[in-house]
Amino acid sequence: MPPSIESHATRRPSVWTWPVVLNALAVSGLVSALVSDGWGDAWAWAALGLPVALMTWLALRRR
């Protein structure tokens, strides 16, 4: 069976949805700390820390 038909049928979110969201977040954090010292730093900690936390949880969780 051609894989494309299967993936249409199951209607999962695209393979790229989460990677794009998490990496866009990380980039915003990398830039924000560069241009502003107060809020920029705080945003950077959240925007870079969140993907790291999610990744760690996914990698270590037991089902």
Partner 1 sequence: MLSSRAIRIWSWLHKWSSLVCTLFMLLLCLTGLPLIFHHEINHLTGAEIEAPPLTPAQAADAARERPSLDRILTTARALYPERVVQFASQAEDSEDLWFVTLAPSPEPTEDFKSVAVDARTAEVLGQPKLEGFMGVMFRLHIDLFAGLPGKLFLGLMGLLLVIAIVSGVVLYAPFMRKLSFGEVRRERSPRVKWLDLHNLLGIVTLAWALVVGATGVINTWADLLVKYWQYDQLSHILAPYQGRPLVPDAERAPVQRAYDAALAAAPGSKLQFIAFPGTAFSSPHHTTFFLHGREPLTARLLQPVLVDAKTARVTDVPQLPWYLTALLVSQPLHFGDYGGLPMKVIWAALDIATIVVLGSGLYLWLKRRQPRALADEAGIEPVAGTAA
The number of beta carbons lying within 10 Å of the beta carbon of residue 41 is 13
Distance CA 6, CA 31 (A): 39
Contact 41, 9 (CB under 8 A): no
**Nearest distance from residue 6's CB to partner 1, in Å?**
8
Of residues 12-31, those binding partner 1 (CB under 8 A): 12-13, 15-19, 22-24, 26-27, 30
The residues of the shown chain that bind partner 1, judged by CB under 8 A, are 3-4, 7, 12-13, 15-19, 22-24, 26-27, 30, 33-37, 40-41, 44-45, 48-49, 51-52, 54-56, 58-59, 62-63
